[in-house]
Chains A and B, each alone.
Chain A
């Protein structure tokens, strides 16, 4: 079981960038070489680059190996239940829009048990950056195939191969009109950090799909490394058809910002509602009681 050097947890951050304030002393439960170490470091770098204070940050997660991440970041965290990352994050951000809200989790959380919440987070355009660490398997239950597993994958619950075809998260995200859709790779932390920064800065729902291999149950470092390519700068992310074309690319795995559209975000629309209601006069319990006379 070997992992490329760039995925190791010991990698040193960009010189001059102080990520120490964002670290906790909790030791990650992840296996050596797990892609999630790389993603965690990218999140530290994003926070350090943007100088977001720990108390203004909330990281919401679901259940799974990658969902343990909030405990490893010095920030407010909410480790919830399987599949409910997005509605919980929606509640956090809507109740206090001043907070920087990140959602994190794995492919099981995002594309299986919680997949029903994705179109609605997209419709609302919640101002949350959702980082999905996709390893194509359920790591915490010892490696069964997930919704993104290839058909030929033989695992404990699928000894004769998968019965289901893998879904295409990027195509799904573009179809749902998620307003920021990007793909990164835990083995390319510099570029991934940049994507996460853009996702956080984006006003609206940002999905950062991260290829984050599981070295224990489904080590995909080699095939991924052979197939990735960075999207050419000429790509126009506001061109939805061009984005969809990238989503369906078969021979290579395009990395980078794939699709982007600028729309008002959920909390902005909530604020508009509040402003409209305020014109009718501030709420007053005594007055409301009297309206029932």
Chain B
């Protein structure tokens, strides 16, 4: 297993160098797991790309670094403290980066900037020269890299493509002539069949298509835009429509209009856009219109830090909008779960005729991972409950039923004519301000949510069965938590994690789990401990809120440290 990190200035090709390295490792049959952090601006600022590669399944981007590639001094200064040990490898651009005496590992200096500027006569080739250096040092197949370059630069013409081939060879040559390998890291060929490599956003978009989504409206926003770009390319092939709306209010309005006609519809955005949608969430709840709304959370309020990660939109997802309208809130935990989770989101929306808010975040949305190729034969796709011919004779759109779900006619259907409305109404859409009616209809609308709690795949559990310390996290932290729990279990600590995938309605199983633990830690990437507060309120049990707002995900070691602290403080003393 190797954790690579490449750091440098935004616009220097740091991210694309990392992406190509990732693809090459994956195509050699390795598992990969990436993490990127970059500035919101197109040029300038610090950018980094991390990829962990292994022949085993990976749960997180890792904690310490094995190979650090510094494009400039800033990358060195920022990252050197994160190196694993004296076996760790530093590769630095000796033209622009000067390591200080504090690094005890194996260092290779390469004058990449000079090679690019003086020998290649094109500074932009620096990242590909470095790719060549990595290729030679760590045994990454240059043929695979050439193929990746061809896919990236082929469209830009033979001249540019050849320049990149030369740059790759320049890097390889430099190592052959100047560097004696002193480290033991090698990327080896693996036999891993039936795997695919994709980002969280791509998995989500692909899952939406698989779920039958045939309408998407959205407004560009970081870090959700890739979903729309993917669907704009792919959905028309499935006879689906993608519209770039004038704002997020319009985007969700269009989604509700499309869904009203019977089409599965979705929008995706990030915090600022989701804020604008608040009023329409109420309309969808009141008029009982299915919709899927993805929130790729980013850091901070207002503009905040658009390219950084955080889990601070939970309150908004749970409560945005006036009055009380039903909704379902889910959180995606991994790239694989992005694919299957969005399918469940559509199923819930269709089953309950409610809006479903799906929380992703920058860490998950923009990271690439290897996953098992989804087996579509095992995927269940639900369709909307439509009125029978008998029901259409005296059709009532909001008929009270045992489950609360009323069959939904679609325009074009004879006998199904009705007016969907956000005004309080009776069973037959008639306006009603009667006390009994409002009570009854509110109950009906919330009753539907119980249908979610009966479903499968609502949570995952990791770690020992006789736990003393419990971890209840949510969303994209699952892999990190799981890895930390494994490490803690290896050390003999009785720790288990419960990871709900549906956050509202709140799963009763969470209560059972926390009552079985001596202490419960709720790790989340926000300042106020939003989910911890929900758990306390729902179950009346106190939990330890462990939060971080750094724009970065947790690392397994960070969590492990917290587990050990809680263990020392509360559990081992009790014994």
Flag if A58 contacts B411 (CB, 8 Å): yes
The stretch among B83-91, B174-182, B417-425 that forms the contact with chain A is B417-425
Given contacts A77-B420, A92-B260, contact A55 B413 (CB under 8 A): yes
Quick check: is A11 within 8 A (CB to CB) of the other chain?
no
Q: Which of A57, A87, A270 has the most CB of B within 10 A?
A: A87
Q: Which of A93, A96, A117, A270 has the most CB of B within 10 A?
A: A96
Quick check: is B458 within 8 A (CB to CB) of the other chain?
no
Contacts of B215 in A (CB 8 A): 91, 94-95
Quick check: is A1 within 8 A (CB to CB) of the other chain?
no
Q: Which residue of B257, B374, B416, B421 contacts A289 across the interface (Cβ within 8 Å)?
A: B374
Closest to A267 in B: B241
Flag if A87 contacts B412 (CB, 8 Å): no
Q: Which of B215, B246, B255, B430 has the most CB of A within 10 A?
A: B246
Contacts of B255 in A (CB 8 A): 91
Q: Which residue of A92, A270, A283 contacts B411 across the interface (Cβ within 8 Å)?
A: A92
Given contacts A91-B217, A94-B215, contact A80 B422 (CB under 8 A): yes
Closest to A71 in B: B419
Whole-angstrom distance between the Cβ of A275 and the nearest chain B Cβ: 9
Flag if B280 contacts A75 (CB, 8 Å): no
Flag if A88 contacts B209 (CB, 8 Å): no
Contacts of A119 in B (CB 8 A): 246
Contacts of A26 in B (CB 8 A): 430
Complex CA gap A177/B409 in Å reads 36
Flag if A81 contacts B283 (CB, 8 Å): yes
Closest to A99 in B: B411
Given contacts A71-B431, A285-B376, contact A95 B241 (CB under 8 A): yes
Whole-angstrom distance between the Cβ of B300 and the nearest chain A Cβ: 26
Whole-angstrom distance between the Cβ of A121 and the nearest chain B Cβ: 9
Whole-angstrom distance between the Cβ of A146 and the nearest chain B Cβ: 20
Quick check: is A76 within 8 A (CB to CB) of the other chain?
yes
Which residues of A244-293 are within 8 A (CB) of B?
270, 273-274, 276-278, 280-283, 285-286, 288-290, 292-293
Quick check: is A116 within 8 A (CB to CB) of the other chain?
yes
Complex CA gap A288/B196 in Å reads 11
Complex CA gap A77/B261 in Å reads 11
Q: Which residue of B237, B245, B420 contacts A277 across the interface (Cβ within 8 Å)?
A: B237
Quick check: is A14 within 8 A (CB to CB) of the other chain?
no
Given contacts A94-B254, A283-B209, A289-B206, contact A56 B246 (CB under 8 A): no
Given contacts A80-B283, A270-B241, A283-B234, contact A91 B254 (CB under 8 A): yes
Q: A95-B262, A288-B234 are in contact. List 20 more A-B contacts (CB 8 A).
A: A56-B411, A56-B412, A70-B419, A75-B417, A76-B419, A78-B420, A81-B283, A87-B217, A87-B253, A90-B243, A91-B215, A91-B254, A92-B260, A94-B215, A94-B254, A117-B250, A120-B245, A282-B238, A283-B238, A290-B196
| A-B pairs with lowest CB-CB distance, top 7 | A91-B257, A277-B236, A77-B419, A87-B253, A283-B238, A91-B254, A283-B237
Q: List, sorted by A's number, 26 A–B pairs whose CB atoms are closer than 8 Å.
A: A58-B260, A76-B411, A77-B421, A79-B423, A81-B280, A84-B249, A87-B249, A87-B251, A87-B254, A88-B256, A91-B253, A91-B256, A94-B258, A95-B258, A95-B263, A96-B263, A116-B246, A274-B236, A277-B237, A280-B237, A283-B235, A283-B239, A285-B209, A290-B196, A292-B198, A293-B195
Which residues of A approach B to under 8 Å, CB–CB?
26, 54-58, 60, 70-71, 74-81, 84, 86-96, 98-99, 116-117, 119-120, 270, 273-274, 276-278, 280-283, 285-286, 288-290, 292-293
